[in-house]
Amino acid sequence: MERSLIARRLMFSAAHFYRQESFSDEKNRETFGLCYTPHGHGHNYVIEAFIDGPIDPDTKLVVNLTDLDRVLREATEPLEHRHLNFDVPEFKNSSAGKIPTSENIALYLRDRIIKALPSLAPNLKLNRLRLYETDALWVEVIE
């Protein structure tokens, strides 16, 4: 069966700061700079999900866009308009595994999207996920 890669972009907004609780105040400031503040700051994040899969012989689609949007929206929904350090359990304390960096947020979203994909169609694969913090800064998780 023919396969194709479909990419979809979606935006969400959230606030965060970076703090490693095992670091001293000084080391946090040195390491994280402006990202180490007591109250944090916000971003309009953009995700790009690249979905790889067989083209359905009847619809000629890899995935129904409404369904894909629902999965992406459900993945980002717990983060939407939240302060990640206070509102989201996965980022709630400041231990090494939980700092809400773009790297960590991308991994969080990857896991949620991968979990939901089988409900859309068999054999769909998240090929890669990009998370843009700004136009000039993004991370990419490659499967």
81: annotated active-site residue:
yes
Annotated catalytic residue, options 48, 90, 133, 140: 133
Give the total residue count for the chain: 143
Helix (H) or strand (E) holding 113: helix 102-116
Enumerate helices (H) and strands (E) in the chain, giving the number of each: 4, 5
Annotated catalytic residue, options 74, 81, 103, 143: 81
Distance, CA of 140 to CA of 34 (rounded, Å): 23
Distance, CA of 123 to CA of 54 (rounded, Å): 7
Helix (H, G, I), strand (E, B) or coil at 99: coil
Tokens of 133: 């913090």
35: annotated active-site residue:
yes
43: annotated active-site residue:
no
Annotated catalytic residue, options 35, 48, 83, 140: 35
Phi–psi pair at 18, nearest 5 degrees: -105, 125
Q: Which residues are catalytic?
A: 35, 81, 133
